[in-house]
């Protein structure tokens, strides 16, 4: 059965961050992801999660309001990236996070790609027991972000040839970048190690937009493995009032007799 995680940065925002894991568990989510869990102490997150599995965290983005979006591909910021990565890796280990998304940052050009490759290889060496991910992000939501194309991400991963590093498949970004999220999934699913879902074109509750979400769930259910399906969307109303999609998908894949 697929595992569903709640993105606690975007869901259950009706309550403070440290109260969201409890609501996610009560709502039927199997785990959580937290984009930037750096505003609270590790011990506070441990207590708040209370055993709820943590699927993914991001590397520190830097000064978000000033335009920072990570540093893995930013020439001249190698030390800043590496310090931030070690912090993320340590936190992931403490909280049991299964993956760390390595944020590329705002950059472009051949030098940025060289820096990105070198930093990814370095990160994999520093934390050999930790799964890493990269995520193409559409340029409307994140102008100037280095990794903004799924084919680009696949090429870099193929060249690095590091099984430890996988691709995040975000339905929203795939549709915004390439127009057809189903085609992106078909082309790159072999490299995907983490899935994020949202409705399209509104980025509200998952569903619509022509993407076959039940088929994706069925495929992941059939092949097994440890890929999480994370709900990363903007609830149209209070989060708990818009979870029919979760109930429907879990009922569809519930083992007989469960």
Task: Point out the residues that are catalytic.
Answer: 135, 232
Bridge partners, residue 1, by sequence: none
Distance from the Cα of residue 172 to its chain's centroid: 12
Give the three-class secondary structure for 116. Answer: helix
Burial class (CB in 10 A: 0-12, 13-18, 19+), 215: exposed
Neighbours of 1 (CB within 10 A): 15
Alpha helical stretches, state H, the chain: 20-27, 42-49, 78-95, 110-126, 150-160, 171-178, 181-188, 213-223, 244-252
Beta strands 192-197; 3-7: pairing state: unpaired
Q: What CA–CA distance (Å, rounded) separates 255 from 258?
A: 5
Which pair of tokens denotes residue 163?
A: 């099984």
Neighbours of 117 (CB within 10 A): 15
Which pair of tokens denotes residue 207?
A: 């569903």
* DSSP state, residue 19: G
Q: Residue 66: phi, psi to the nearest 5?
A: -90, 0
């Amino acid at each position: 059965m697929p595992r569903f995680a709640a993105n606690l940065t975007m869901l259950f925002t009706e309550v403070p961050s440290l109260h969201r894991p409890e609501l996610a568990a009560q709502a039927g989510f199997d785990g959580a992801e937290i984009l930037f869990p750096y505003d609270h102490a590790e011990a506070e997150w441990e207590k708040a999660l209370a055993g709820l599995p943590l699927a993914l965290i991001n590397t520190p983005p830097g000064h978000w309001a000033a335009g920072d979006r990570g540093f893995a591909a930013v020439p001249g910021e190698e030390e800043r990236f590496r310090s931030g990565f070690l912090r993320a890796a340590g936190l992931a280990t403490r909280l049991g996070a299964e993956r760390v998304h390595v944020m590329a940052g705002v950059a472009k050009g051949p030098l940025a790609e060289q820096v990105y490759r070198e930093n990814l290889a370095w990160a994999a060496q520093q934390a050999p027991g930790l799964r890493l991910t990269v995520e193409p992000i559409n340029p409307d939501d994140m102008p100037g972000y280095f990794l903004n194309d799924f084919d680009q991400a696949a090429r870099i991963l193929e060249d690095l040839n590091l099984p430890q590093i996988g691709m995040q498949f975000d339905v929203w970004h795939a549709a915004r970048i390439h127009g057809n999220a189903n085609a992106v999934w078909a082309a790159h699913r072999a490299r995907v190690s983490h899935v994020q879902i949202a409705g399209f074109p509104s980025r509200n509750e998952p569903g619509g937009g022509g993407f076959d979400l039940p088929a994706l769930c069925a495929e992941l259910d059939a092949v097994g493995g440890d890929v999480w399906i994370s709900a990363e969307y903007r609830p149209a109303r209070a989060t708990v009032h818009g979870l029919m999609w979760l109930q429907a998908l879990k009922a569809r894949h519930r083992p007989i007799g469960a």
